[in-house]
Amino acid sequence: MRLIMHLRARDRVFDVPDELLDRVRKASSMSVLTGAGVSAESGIPTFRGAGGIWEKYDYRKLATAEGFREDPRLVWEWYQLRQIEMKKAQPNPAHRTISEMEQSVSDFSVLTQNIDGMHRRAGNKRIVELHGSIWRMRCIRDNTVFEIDDPVAEIPPLCQCGSVLRPDVVWFGEPLSPHVVDEASRVAGASDVMFVVGTSAIVYPAAALPIITKNSGGLVIEVNVEPTDVSSYADLSLFGPAGDILPAFWNTIVRSESFMKEHPFIPKR
Ligand code: BJW
């Protein structure tokens, strides 16, 4: 007999097999892969689709090393605008739920493609920033990295050595840091459950991470407003805003007696 649980998120009801919920409750290692969609409800635009950044801006000019070499001022004007926008934004219920998840599960990591720093602001500690951070700058001559809290005041910002600084983010055609790829792949391979939240999952190598989890025997649960490539192999796809779906799903997990038995020392703080 297959038991079905009804998950209620705002005005929707999802049927979730009880065996699947049980695997989530018993998971000792968990991860969340996030993309721009997790920050959409904080007012930070996504890249693709209607109203997305690439509809308005040319990625070749703004998100490639060639574009930066041609016009560092233009690229920095765009990043400064985004820094201002991201500084004003607040973590939303999806970010906050992901932070609660880290407090409840001892082996928990966030693998994020986002550069906005919202997971840290929501309270997560174990975060792998796959595409870098808008709150770091790097010298194009000696690679010295500078952390910042506020949007840049001068454009383009300069290093003490006199050279131009660039945003410490990963643009198209650039390799991700090998250390970051190794750590993300290790986490994905070790995850009993990976949630894939708010990403179109078309940009590699990040898009390969849930496939690693799946191939290692882990469960893949997708949360998105629309189907993606992940939907074809995910064990569960929950369609709707992450800020509704994720808190509703996590409450269903945490409220159960078996979760409390499996994770007797939670919450940590
Ligand atoms: C919601 C929601 C709500 C909305 N709730 N959901 C062919 C095959 C394979 C690979 C390649 C290929 N051709 C080229 C490549 C390589 C390329 C790539 O993958 N391109 C693809 C587009 C095909 N990859 C790279 O270039 C990477 N580097 C690399 O491969 O290096 C190799 C190398 C080795 C050795 C030497 C040299 C090179 C680097 C990729 C870097 C990506 N950079 C960006 C910009 C970062 C900086 C910045 O932000 O300014 O990263 S591009 C952009 O895309 C950004 C994102 O992190 C990334 C992913 O986007 P994301 O997050 O998924 O956002 P969206 O907008 O696509 O999707 C949002 C989703 O949310 C949607 O699904 C919505 O439905 C959903 N949603 N509201 C829930 N409320």
Q: Are 127 and 120 in contact (CB under 8 A)?
A: yes
Residues sharing a CB contact under 8 Å with residue 86, sequence separation 6 or more, in sequence order: 44, 116, 117, 118, 134
pTM score: 0.95
Owner of token pair 């945490």: 254
* CB of residue 40 inside a 6 A radius of ligand 1: yes
State the distance from the centre of ligand 1 to the C-alpha of 57, rounded, in angstroms. Answer: 15
pLDDT along the chain (269 residues), means of 10: 73 84 94 98 94 92 97 97 98 98 96 98 98 98 97 96 98 98 98 98 98 98 97 96 95 82 62
Residue 263 annotated as catalytic:
no
State the distance from the centre of ligand 1 to the C-alpha of 105, rounded, in angstroms. Answer: 28
Q: Which residue has its alpha carbon closest to ligand 1 atom 40?
A: 172
* CB of residue 48 inside a 6 A radius of ligand 1: yes
